[in-house]
């Protein structure tokens, strides 16, 4: 049951962060506008993400047993806190729906051309609902298995590309051909907020880690390892595709893998990439859904969290269908509207302000004593 005291291990937290952050971005790619300098954008974003993660973990350190939506109310007061908590719940639902739409469209484009996105959405959401009914601990254990599978698949894909001699590292030159400006545009707000800023979801999961003192180390280790993996895949994809094709393709890893040919025998490894997409989508949507679910139960004092699973799952499916008329509009919203009006305020501005308010409050209390 989800309402009893939950407990997840440090390794399970590592796997969850790794898969949440890297499970999808290794497929979709990052920093397209920076072309051959994309790895620099990711590196800068990783450094900024460490600062952002410190803010999240510092808030967790101050309120180790409380969910993010709960200590918002303690910091801002009951009424203002509840309004902000509700905004975050809607945000988690909306991003879960956006991710669901991403994977509905990807699967229709790549494998299931004759299927409708609503059918794929219902099937995927059924699996997510089942995992949520089983609880966070079961989902965390599943992450350990999926982590092993994905690591094996990623090494296999890179190995196959290397054996096929596809990489041409001259494609990474010249460095900083267009200056620093395109890199900074990629960093802020796109790469910083997706995927790094989405770590805001783990403020709803940190209280369940059974080794509280090690959460800092595990969190930073997971994000650094994931960031290095993203840099490696960015360099690898550009070395294979070249800057021009990398910039134009929506799924660089899928395109790069399509060139693999080992002795005219090992070919068509697209299936492995699709598996990565499905695993990554499942984990990402489930975590966003869980955050909305636990936040809603806490805010509205629902004793049996399971009662909210079906209503919220229907909301996510309907949102994914009606948020944009087509995939192009969906992508345009994701890059031009969502980062500025949702990600930056909710991932960066509000958490930083909350931490500053808490530190000022504590300093005032200390000075009075």
Q: What are phi and psi of 266, to 5 degrees?
A: -90, 105
Which of 60, 84, 64 is CA-nearest to residue 72? 84
- Distance between CA atoms of 141 and 232, rounded to whole angstroms? 27
Cα distances from 27 to residues 23, 40, 130, 306, in angstroms, run 7, 18, 25, 32
- Distance between CA atoms of 219 and 50, rounded to whole angstroms? 9
pLDDT over 70 percentage in the chain:
97
pLDDT per residue as tens, the chain (369 positions): 444 467 899 999 999 999 999 866 766 778 778 888 999 999 999 999 999 999 999 999 999 999 999 999 999 998 999 999 999 999 999 999 999 998 888 888 888 888 889 999 999 999 999 999 999 999 999 999 999 999 999 889 999 999 989 999 999 988 888 888 989 988 988 889 988 999 999 999 999 998 778 899 999 999 999 999 999 989 999 999 998 888 888 788 888 888 888 877 778 788 888 888 889 889 999 999 999 999 999 999 998 888 999 999 999 999 999 998 888 898 889 888 999 999 999 999 999 999 999 999 988 888 876
Q: What are the tens digits of pLDDT across the range 123-153?
A: 999 999 999 999 999 999 999 999 999 999 9
DSSP label at residue 8: B
- Residue 120: other Cβ atoms inside 10 A: 19
- Distance between CA atoms of 314 and 184, rounded to whole angstroms? 38
């Amino acid at each position: 049951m989800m309402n009893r005291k939950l407990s997840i291990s440090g390794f399970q937290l590592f796997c969850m962060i790794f898969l949440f952050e890297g499970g999808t971005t290794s497929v979709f790619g990052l920093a397209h506008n920076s072309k051959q300098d994309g790895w620099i954008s990711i590196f800068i974003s990783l450094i900024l993400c460490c600062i952002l993660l410190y803010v999240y973990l510092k808030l967790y350190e101050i309120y180790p047993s409380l969910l993010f939506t709960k200590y918002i109310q303690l910091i801002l007061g009951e009424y203002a806190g509840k309004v902000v908590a509700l905004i975050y719940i809607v945000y988690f639902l909306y991003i879960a729906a956006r991710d669901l739409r991403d994977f509905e469209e990807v699967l229709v484009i790549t494998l299931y051309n004759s299927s409708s996105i609503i059918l794929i959405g219902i099937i995927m959401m059924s699996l997510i609902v089942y995992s949520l009914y089983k609880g966070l601990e079961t989902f965390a254990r599943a992450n350990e298995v999926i982590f092993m599978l994905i690591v094996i698949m990623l090494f296999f894909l890179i190995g196959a590309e290397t054996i096929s001699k596809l990489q041409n590292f001259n494609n990474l030159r010249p460095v900083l051909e267009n200056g620093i400006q395109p890199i900074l545009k990629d960093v802020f707000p796109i790469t910083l907020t997706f995927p790094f800023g989405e770590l805001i979801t783990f403020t709803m999961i940190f209280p369940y880690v059974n080794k509280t003192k090690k959460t800092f180390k595990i969190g930073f280790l997971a994000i650094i390892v994931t960031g290095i993996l993203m840099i490696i895949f960015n360099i690898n994809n550009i070395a294979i595709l070249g800057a021009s094709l990398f910039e134009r393709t929506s799924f660089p890893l899928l395109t790069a893998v399509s060139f693999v040919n080992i002795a005219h025998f090992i070919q068509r490894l697209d299936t492995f990439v699709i598996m990565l997409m499905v695993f990554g989508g499942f984990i990402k949507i489930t975590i966003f859904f869980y955050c909305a679910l636990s936040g809603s139960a806490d805010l509205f004092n629902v004793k049996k969290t399971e009662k909210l699973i079906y209503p919220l799952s229907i909301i996510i499916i309907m949102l994914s269908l009606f948020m944009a008329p087509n995939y192009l509009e969906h992508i345009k919203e994701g890059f031009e509207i969502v980062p500025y009006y949702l990600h930056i305020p909710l991932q960066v501005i509000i958490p930083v302000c909350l931490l500053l308010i808490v530190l000022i409050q504590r300093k005032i209390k200390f000075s009075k004593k």
